[in-house]
A and B are shown apart, each in its own frame.
Chain A
Amino acid sequence: MAKLFNGLLGIGVALALGGLLMLVQGYNPLASYGALLQFSVADSYALATTFTNAVPLVLTGLSAALAFASGPVNLGQPGQLLMGALAATVGGLFLDLPPLLMVPLLVLLAMAGGALWAGLAALLRQVFQMSEFIVTLMLNMVADFFTIWAITYPLQDSTAYSPMTPPIAQSGWLPEWGDWNSAVVWMLAAVAATWFFSRRTRAGYEWRIGGQNSLFARLGGCPVDRNFVWVMLLTGALAGLAGGLVVMGGPHRFLRGLGANDGWDGVMVAIVANNSLPGVFLYGLFFAAIQSGALGMELITGVPSEIAMVLQGVLVLAIVASREALQQVTARLAVRRRALERRA
């Protein structure tokens, strides 16, 4: 209940601030928000676009939320996403199997690519005690340059003007049903699987407790160090999956700037959701709705669609602030009530 109130309060504040910004710059905020709503959820096409946009957000959000809730500060979602996308692209360029085999194989490759990149950070942490926080950040930049190199030289499509790979084999394209892309199905499956893993498996329990109090988990007999590596691998795989699905469901090739902000957006989603998995799903959809709606907003009222990024940033700050403020207020009220009770 408090969570819902807090979320709505944060969203309200963010939208109000966004509206104010538009007003100051001479746009009509009401018309703009109307357009945003219309182009994000009003019809099947808009809704489908929102869900498709949500795929990388939710998956990187799950990755970040699961990592933060389990302890490791894995901030490598952008890099892991790129490496996953690259792995799926390479698979799609050099293999051609029946779709029934090809799609799962590429998905696995994408997950392996992301897991590998996260695993590198886990390895450096376990062997050399190098903080995964800085390592994953640096590996993001390395992955960025590495993938640009890969699509500029070895994997380049010589017929294209800007750096990109040729399209992957058609058998690796994710099937579409009307407006709906089956990437959404993979995302829903990932949400369900991650939730099940976290709530019903022994490892999920150990990760969660380890994230809250790692000394307690260690004393309770949990293999804390080994779990660390597994958390990194699995959260890397989730981010990698996001990259793979972006390639297989969208442009069907790796082009420059692919998934540019998706990794960080996922971190943001995890933060506003306070690492709750259902929260990640809902906020992921909400952020995606803003992103798809913003394009429509630009079309109708001329507000640059980049305002979506501002709205997201304000939203994160507003929700985090209202969460803390709410906690402080409730704690203070409780104290006052108890003092009065004792007096009586």
Chain B
Amino acid sequence: MPALIELQEIVKVYPPALLALDHISLRFVEGEIHALVGENGAGKSTLMKVLYGLAHPDRGRVLYQGREIRFASPAAAIAAGIGMVHQEIVLVNEYTVWENIVLGAEPVGWFGQIDRPRARRQVQAIIDRFQFELEPDARVADISVAARQKVEILKLLYREVRVLILDEPTAVLAPQEIPQLFAELRALRDQGHTILFVSHRLEEVLELADRVTVLRRGRAVATLPAAGTTRSELAERMVGRAVLFQSRRVPQPSGEALLTLAGLRAVDGQGRISLHDISLQVHAGELVGVAGVEGNGQLELVHAIVGLLRPNAGRIVVAGTELTAAPILARRRVLAFVAQDRGRMGGSLSASVVENAIMTHHRLNRRLLRWRGWLLDMRAARRFTAELAARFAVSTPALAAPLQTLSGGNQQKVILGRELLLDCPVILLDQPTRGLDVGSIEYVHDQILAMRAAGRALLMVSASLEELFLLADRIVVLHRGSLVADVPVEQTTVEQVGRWMLEGVQGDG
């Protein structure tokens, strides 16, 4: 079969040092659903952006219908018939469904005044043709995520694209919404559209796609027909080795309760309950993992514990100290916190390594202070940072270098080291390995297990079930702001936790 789109030796580098695409060559055939799978950071999204004109390859060629193309912008890609639905939905929330669909290709009357009746009629026609259930006059801010995704797809169909790129379209959907999307996509294929589908959920890929390409660390490692390929085959190629779901955790008895959450409740500005009477205990020498689909209350839980969000009811007690309404500094005496976001909550990227390393210590560690705490002893601060760098194997050009000049793994080591050196009984970890390379992840895991062995109480939020099963003693599941399960890790399976994450527990929610 002739290729509709052909990629030849595509290279893309993101500054400062990320090789996102490493000489990728691929062929997409007209009228197929072609899936691209790979781990986070394997280069799936970047590849699609290159195809769509959102990113420009540093090397290589893209052929479309046999001709070399180099889209200057998404507009050029759309005009040529290639459209993309992003992982994050990029619609104008303030606009109605029809305004979003026609934006950029509006039917107009005199002096550029928008011909509203015509625009609405056209949008209604296209909704009817593909049998999407949507109300053209609804404001996008008011409709569900699944409906917004449909708006994105309709927006492209309105522009008569022939190739649809979907970046992780199921990530934002509820499980029961997925079959409908798949049915709609198959219908589009049968009408002759070509669909490129990016995902890391292997079952979905095998269910929907005709062919699957596996990406690993910027390289295309295989293209397989979906029929006859198994999930573990794909997984092995994605990770590059046989996937081991084996815990390195050594069983140990846990001690007294160091972190107690009792009936924690939080209500957001619109009166929605974001945390629903959360009660939880974490004991010394125990690691409790928090599982959940993103946006089910993890953020609020972490914010309530560190003091960024005032709970409307309930108590937080750490090591016998009541912290429910305590200022942040008082919390930090007993609570170490590793944030998921290194540049926003975890550190300041433009500040030096030293300045990042001494945060919080600058209030609590007398070694760094002179003159009753008025002055900082910069020499002591540098010595402290050097010790931290040595102990946590930080590789940095200089201690005075800005944090952003370090690799992600080394940045996280600085932050992790800073928090662990606070010597707090309770450690709160919010996705501590997010966006790190494999080596750094293993290092962080080792440090976390060492803290557990040292008798600390650890609470870890993670988006990766694999990580939770690797490290946790107990797993709790957040679903729509409620804790729907709290089980020892030996008594459950990845599949069961996954089901709880999506559907809650029967009768609970």
Collect the chain A residues with CB atoms within 8 Å of residue B59's CB: 339, 343
Across the A-B interface, give the 3 residue pairs with the lowest CB-CB distance, nearest first: A221-B329, A220-B359, A213-B348
Q: Given A221-B328, A339-B11, is A212 in contact with B350 using a C-beta cutoff of 8 Å?
A: yes
Q: Inside 8 A of B329's CB, which chain A residues have their CB?
A: 221-223
Closest chain-A Cβ to B411's Cβ sits at a distance in Å of: 13
Of B281-289, B371-379, B487-495, the one contacting chain A is B371-379
One of A212, A222, A342 near B22 (C-beta < 8 A): A342
A219 to B428, CA, bound (A): 13
List B contacts of A223 (CB < 8 A).
327, 329
B355 touches A205 (CB 8 A): yes
- Confirm or deny: A3 has a beta carbon within 8 angstroms of a beta carbon on chain B: no
| Chain B: CB-nearest residue to A204 | B376
Can you give 24 contacting A-B residue pairs, CB < 8 Å?
A201-B375, A202-B376, A205-B355, A212-B348, A213-B343, A213-B348, A216-B348, A216-B359, A218-B308, A218-B328, A219-B308, A220-B362, A220-B363, A221-B328, A221-B363, A334-B16, A335-B15, A336-B58, A338-B13, A339-B58, A339-B59, A342-B11, A342-B22, A343-B11
Q: Which residues of B contact A342 (CB under 8 A)?
A: 11, 13, 19, 22
Given contacts A201-B375, A221-B363, 10 further A-B contacts (CB under 8 A): A202-B369, A202-B376, A203-B374, A206-B362, A212-B351, A219-B337, A222-B363, A335-B13, A339-B59, A342-B22
- The interface bits of chain A over 188-226 (1 if a CB of B lies within 8 angstroms of the residue's CB, else 0) are 000000000001111111101100110111111111000
The answer to whether A216 touches B375 (Cβ under 8 A) is no
Kindly list chain B residues whose C-beta atoms are within 8 Å of the C-beta of A222.
329, 363
Residues A209 and B19 in contact, CB atoms below 8 Å apart: no
Distance from A259 Cβ to chain B, minimum over Cβ atoms (Å): 32
Tell me the complex Cα distance, A202–B381, Å. 11
Chain B residues with Cβ under 8 A from A221's Cβ? 328-329, 332, 359-360, 363-364
B59 → A minimal CB distance (Å) = 7
Query: Could you say which of A219, A222, A336, A343 has the most chain B C-beta atoms within 10 Å of its C-beta?
Result: A219
Which residue from chain B places its CB closest to the CB of A337 in the assembled complex? B13
In angstroms, Cα B369 to Cα A334, docked, is 39
For residue B346, CB closer than 8 A to chain A, the reply is yes
Q: Which residues of B contact A335 (CB under 8 A)?
A: 13-15, 58
Query: Nearest Cβ distance between residue A331 and chain B, in whole angstroms?
Result: 5
Residues of A within 8 A of B (CB): 199-206, 208-209, 212-213, 215-223, 331, 334-336, 338-339, 342-343
In the bound assembly, the distance between CA atoms of A204 and B376 in angstroms comes to 9
Query: B1 at interface (Cβ–Cβ under 8 A)?
Result: no
CA of A215 to CA of B328 in the docked complex: distance in angstroms?
12
Residues of A near B339 (CB, < 8 A) are 219
A223 to B13, CA, bound (A): 40
* A201 and B13 contact, CB distance less than 8 A: no
Cβ of B375 and Cβ of A202 under 8 Å apart?
yes
Q: How far is the CB of A58 from chain B (nearest CB, A)?
A: 24
Q: Main SS of chain B's interface residues?
A: mixed
| B276 CB to nearest chain A CB (Å) | 25
Out of A200, A205, A331, which one reaches B362, CB within 8 Å? A205
Contact of B15 among A199, A219, A331 (CB under 8 A): A331
- Chain B residue nearest to A218 (CB atoms) is B328
Residue of B nearest to A196 (CB): B375
Instruction: Say which residue of A202, A216, A217, A339 sits within 8 Å of B13 (CB atoms).
Output: A339
B358 contact set on A, CB distance < 8 A: 205
B378-A200 in contact (CB<8A): yes
User: Cα distance A216–B345 when bound, in Å?
Assistant: 5
Neighbouring B residues of A218 by C-beta, 8 Å: 308, 328
CA distance A72 to B375 in the complex (A): 23
> Bound state CA distance, A325 and B59, in angstroms?
24
Closest to A336 in B: B58
Chain A residues with CB below 8 A from B13, complex form: 335, 338-339, 342
A214 to chain B, nearest CB (A): 10
* Residues of A contacting B14 in the complex (Cβ-Cβ under 8 angstroms): 335
Greatest chain A CB density within 10 A among B11, B58, B306, B348 is at: B348
Is B272 part of the binding interface, using a Cβ–Cβ cutoff of 8 Å?
no
Find the A residue at minimum CB distance from B343. Answer: A213
Query: Would you call B16 and A202 a contact (CB within 8 A)?
Result: no
Residues of B near A216 (CB, < 8 A) are 344-348, 359
Min distance, Cβ B416 to any Cβ of chain A, angstroms: 15
Q: Indicate if the CB atoms of B348 and A209 lie closer than 8 Å.
A: yes
Q: Determine the chain B residues whose CB is within 8 A of the CB of A217 once the complex forms.
A: 348, 359
Closest to B347 in A: A216
Q: Kindly list chain A residues whose C-beta atoms are within 8 Å of the C-beta of B345.
A: 215-216, 219
With a cutoff of 8 Å between Cβ atoms, the chain A residues found around residue B349 in the complex are: 213
Complex alpha-carbon distance, A221 and B358, angstroms: 12
- With a cutoff of 8 Å between Cβ atoms, the chain B residues found around residue A205 in the complex are 355, 358, 362, 376
A209 to B403, CA, bound (A): 13
A328 nearest CB across to chain B (Å): 11
Given A213-B344, A216-B347, A223-B329, A338:B375 Cβ within 8 A? no
Chain B nearest CB from A288 CB (Å) reads 30
Q: A215-B344, A216-B346 are in contact. Are A202 and B373 (CB under 8 A)?
A: yes
Q: For residue A227, give the distance in angstroms from its CB to the closest CB of chain B.
A: 12
A82 to B277 CA separation, bound complex (whole angstroms): 56
In the assembled complex, how far is the CB of residue A306 from the closest CB belonging to chain B, in whole angstroms?
Answer: 38
Bound-state CA distance A206–B355 (Å) is 10
A204–B373 alpha-carbon span in the complex (Å): 12
- Interface membership of chain B positions 301-323, coded 1 if the CB is closer than 8 angstroms to chain A and 0 otherwise: 00000101000000000000000
Task: Report the separation of the CA atoms of residues A202 and B362 in the bound assembly, to the nearest whole angstrom.
Answer: 7
Instruction: Tell whether A201 pairs with B374 under 8 Å between CB atoms, given A209-B359, A343-B11.
Output: yes
Contact of A201 among B17, B347, B360, B376 (CB under 8 A): B376
Contact B328–A219 (Cβ < 8 Å) = yes
Rounded to whole Å, the gap between the CB of A314 and the closest CB of chain B is 28
Instruction: Give chain B residues whose Cβ lies under 8 Å from the Cβ of A203.
Output: 374
- CA gap between A339 and B359 in the complex, in Å: 36
Task: Give the residue name and chain of the A residue nearest to B369 (CB).
Answer: A202
* Distance of A210 from chain B, by nearest CB (Å): 9
Residue on B nearest A330 in the bound complex, by CB: B15
CA distance A208 to B359 in the complex (A): 12
A97–B237 alpha-carbon span in the complex (Å) = 86
Contacts of A206 in B (CB 8 A): 362
From A201, A202, A335, name the one whose CB has the most chain B CB atoms within 10 angstroms. A202
Complex Cα distance A18/B343, Å?
Answer: 42
The answer to whether A338 and B374 have CB atoms under 8 Å apart is: no
The A-contacting residues of B in range 1-44, CB under 8 angstroms, are 11, 13-17, 19, 22
CB distance from A287 to the nearest CB of B (A): 26
**A202 — which chain B residues lie within 8 A by C-beta?**
362-363, 369, 373-376
Residue from the set B14, B359, B363, B364 with the largest chain A CB neighbour count within 10 Å: B359
Interface string of B68-95 (1 = CB under 8 A from A): 0000000000000000000000000000
> Nearest chain-A residue to B354 (Cβ)?
A205
